[in-house]
């Protein structure tokens, strides 16, 4: 799968970094999205989802505050993201409403647990 980690962090204790490593470990093609970083875990960091090369993405994982997540939804729709995973702490009613307006499928769950990893083990 092609996965964008929105809020990918250079801090290995942050969930945005743990998710990137977990999906990478499972062999997924992972893209770090962080406008304030040049690279994360050896991968180039993209300022926006729409800056990621290639076609559509299978998943975008949100590890950002709700107000930032709300702003990236339009980019997710433009990039053709199949699923937007809203991790705990990234959710808001407004975000879910906007995602629905854009026709984005949202999943409200821990994306790390979904692939069989424990965030605490990373």
Q: Is the pTM of the predicted complex or chain greater than 0.85?
A: yes
Per-residue pLDDT, 117: 74
Distances (CA, A) of 100 to 5, 26, 103, 114: 20, 29, 5, 22
Q: Report CA torsion sign: 97, 73, 106, 32.
A: negative
Per-residue pLDDT, 33: 99
Per-residue pLDDT, 24: 96
Per-residue pLDDT, 2: 98
All domains of the chain in start order, with CATH: 2-121 (3.40.50.720)
pLDDT beneath 70: ranges in the chain: none
Per-residue pLDDT, 69: 96
Per-residue pLDDT, 10: 97
4-23 burial, b at 16+ Cβ within 10 Å, e below that, comes to: bbbbbbbeeeebbbbbbbbb
Per-residue pLDDT, 111: 93
Q: Which two tokens stand for residue 90?
A: 């990234």
Sheet holding 59-62, edge to edge: 39-40, 43-46, 29-33, 2-6, 59-62, 83-86, 105-108
62-87 tens-digit pLDDT: 999 999 999 999 999 999 999 999 99
């Amino acid at each position: 799968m092609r996965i964008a980690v929105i809020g990918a962090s250079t801090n290995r204790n942050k969930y945005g970094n743990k998710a990137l490593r977990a999906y990478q470990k499972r062999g997924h093609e992972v893209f770090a999205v962080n406008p304030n970083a040049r690279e994360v875990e050896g991968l180039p960091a993209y300022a926006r989802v729409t800056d990621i090369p290639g076609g559509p993405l299978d998943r975008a994982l949100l590890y950002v505050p709700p107000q930032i997540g709300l702003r990236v939804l339009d980019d997710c729709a433009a990039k053709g993201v199949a699923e937007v995973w809203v991790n705990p702490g990234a959710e808001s009613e407004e975000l879910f409403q906007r995602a629905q307006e854009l026709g984005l499928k949202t999943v409200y769950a821990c994306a790390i647990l979904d692939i069989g990893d424990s965030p605490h083990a990373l």
